[in-house]
Structure 1
Amino acid sequence: MKHDFTLPPLPVAAPVRWSTWTLLAGLVLLVVASFASLPLKWGEFFSSEAIRTTLDFLHGFAPPELAPGFLAKVGIATFETLAMSAIGTVIAAILGALLALPASGRFGVLARNVTRGFLNVLRSIPELVWASILLIAAGLGPFAGTLALALHTVGVLGRLFADAFENCPPLPAATLRINGVRPAVAFLYATLPQCSPQMMSYTLYRWENNIRAAAILGVVGAGGLGQMLKYHLSLFQMQQAATVIIAMLLMVAAVDGLSYVLRRAMTR
């Protein structure tokens, strides 16, 4: 009995379209034009004078201020920064989920386009600009910073949640609809459980980003560690500023680790 050991033919690679080559050529030209147009002074950056000046500046940060009274103030500002980021992210997650429903096309094309345009406007304005605008209405302090984080993050999470709803497999919801279940109930019992791990992962990731943004928003007077950093740097109190910077680094590292553990737990 003979056996046919002939190997199947190898798949033929699809030809690359001319539009792909045009896009790649355009990107290469853009990169080359960027380097050619920007005055990048690499020689001055790595000069001995620049290195000496930088080392003298960094030497002023040592040693960090460790007085108990000052550490207590840093601890309060750290909690304030964490609270700003957490509340802003929670508000943004709730509003983003609500806006993601029309943005995913569940209420028609017109509602989808209008909602996505609104989300584009929210996320196209940086947090610092939102904080500068809201400081006029809400005054100095963490309230304006919290609202600024929430508005920008609504635009980001709303778009991500809408994409998650659109990319969700429709078969489970369609099965419930065929059996007479109403659309809202089918969404709650089929679509939402499938998308919730991805939505939670997006929310945790944005919380990490908002931690960093909240630490910077204090530069415009929105409270927290950023406001302390601006105050001490403006007075050239480098040792106190070093303590604030170390607190920022420790806070961001702790939140990154916690977020990583939570995301791993959800994906198991």
Structure 2
Amino acid sequence: MLAGRLPYRGVLITTGVLAAVLASVWRLDLVAAFAEGADSLGELIGFLQRFAAPDLAPAFLAKVGQGAIETLAISLIGTLLAVVGGVLLALPASGRFGRRGQAAARFCLNLLRSVPELVWATLTVLAAGLGPFAGTLALALHTAGVLGRLYAEALENAPPAPAAALRGAGSGAVAAFLYGTLPAVVPQWVAYGLYRWEMNIRMAAILGFVGAGGLGAQLYYALSLFHESQAATLIIAMLVLSLAVDAMSGWLRRRLVTA
């Protein structure tokens, strides 16, 4: 009977997925959008052709370099602040300070990661003004929620035997955590933090669209003024910066996590 139910269930699931796809296409009016895109294909080709000649003027490249350094700093400091905040919230979220502390910490983690970085950036720009400080805060707030949950899960899944052995030998709770539990979770914490840095370098480049500084702010101005050649240069800079951070993060993971 189970073998007979599985194909029937598969047909229901497939039908439901197809219905959802068709409903989404109808709701978004994608057919009309594709038709309009085909009509304006010539304009689109011309727009892309203007992107094919990036601005390589030394003065502009110097500004791009400054924006790249600012974007890198936003992602790095934002991630480091998130690591600290994630650890502080992960300890109570893993149940180490009672049920009330666990519930409060998990609520904070859910709140922080449920609000997207762009929304946090909009709020921090309103609170702290335009500039990279707002972008750093936005990344830190959202990423702390993500890392805090991952750190808490790592603590919950850590083997209890080493800490229990230390407590049985007379060690206090803090010493048992530092020498029994922490060494087991630190490699995971480091890997999670570096992975989030890879994601944050991309997000840091986008946050400038809402006034949070970096390459994103320069790209927003270039597109607003229809300077396609400068926009192409900025997009290339974002790509190069992301690839460099990915390579650096991978190298650090291999060196630190496996050490």
Please list the CA deviations of residues 204-229 of structure 1 after superposition, one character each: whole Å capped at 9, or x if unmatched: 01111110111000001111000000
Structure 2 vs 1, CA of residues 185 and 21 (structure 1 numbering), >3 Å: closer, same or farther? farther
Given candidates 68, 72, 90, the residue that maps to 2:62 is 72
Deviations 1:160-190 (A, max 9, x none): 0000000011111111011111111111111
Give the structure-1-normalised TM-score. 0.87
* Residue number in structure 1 paired with 2:76: 86
- Distance in structure 1 (CA, Å) of the matches to 2:14 and 2:148: 33
Quick one: structure 1 residues 141 and 159, their matched pair in 2 at CA, closer, same or farther if it must change by over 3 Å? same
- Residue 157 of structure 1 corresponds to 147
Q: Secondary structure at the match of 2:51?
A: coil
Q: Whose helix fraction is larger, Structure 1's or Structure 2's? A: 2
Equivalent position to 1:261, from 242, 247, 251: 251
Which position in structure 1 is the counterpart of 2:157?
167
User: In terms of mean alpha carbon deviation, does 202-211 or 21-30 score higher?
Assistant: 21-30
- The structural deviation recorded for 1:28 is 4.4
Q: Give the CA RMSD over aligned residues.
A: 2.4
Evaluate the alpha carbon distance shift between residue 62 and residue 119 of structure 1 in structure 2; reply closer, same or farther with a 3 A threshold.
same
Q: Which moved more, 1:183-192 or 1:47-56?
A: 47-56
TM-score under structure 2 length normalisation = 0.90
Pair 1:35-2:21 in alignment? yes
3-state SS of the aligned residue for 2:201?
helix
Question: 1:24: Cα distance to partner?
Answer: 7.2
Indicate yes or no: 2:171 matched with 1:185: no
Give the counterpart of 1:132 among 122, 139, 143. Answer: 122
Looking at structure 1, the residues matched to 9 and 93 of structure 2 have their Cα atoms a distance apart, in angstroms, of 29
Is contact 2:135–2:204 with CA below 8 Å preserved after alignment? yes
- CA apart distance, 1:137: 1.3
CA distance in 2, matches of 1:212, 1:206: 10
How far apart are residue 22 of structure 1 and its match? 11
Q: Once the two structures are superposed, what CA deviation does each residue of 1:123-170 show, in whole Å capped at 9, x if it has no partner?
A: 000111111111111011111111000000110010000000000111
Distance 1:160 1:22, change over 3 A: farther
* SS of match in other structure, 1:41: helix
1:266 CA displacement: 3.0
The amino acid across from 2:239 in the alignment is L
- Pair 210,35 (structure 1): closer, same or farther in 2 beyond 3 Å: same
1:217 maps to amino acid: L
Moved more, 242-251 or 52-61: 52-61
| Contact 2:191 2:257 (C-alpha < 8 Å) held by counterparts | no
Number of matched residues? 252
- Runs of 5+ in structure 2 lacking a partner? none
Secondary structure at the counterpart of residue 223 of structure 1: coil
Cα gap change, 1:57 to 1:118, in 2 (>3 Å): same
Deviation (angstroms), 1:31: 2.5
Distance across 1 between alignment mates of 2:143 and 2:170: 37
Q: Give the Cα separation in 1 of the matches to 2:12 and 2:103.
A: 29
Provide Cα deviations, 1:25-72, integer angstroms capped at 9, x if missing partner: 886455323212112439937975455443222101121101111000
Which deviates further from its counterpart, 102-111 or 73-82?
102-111
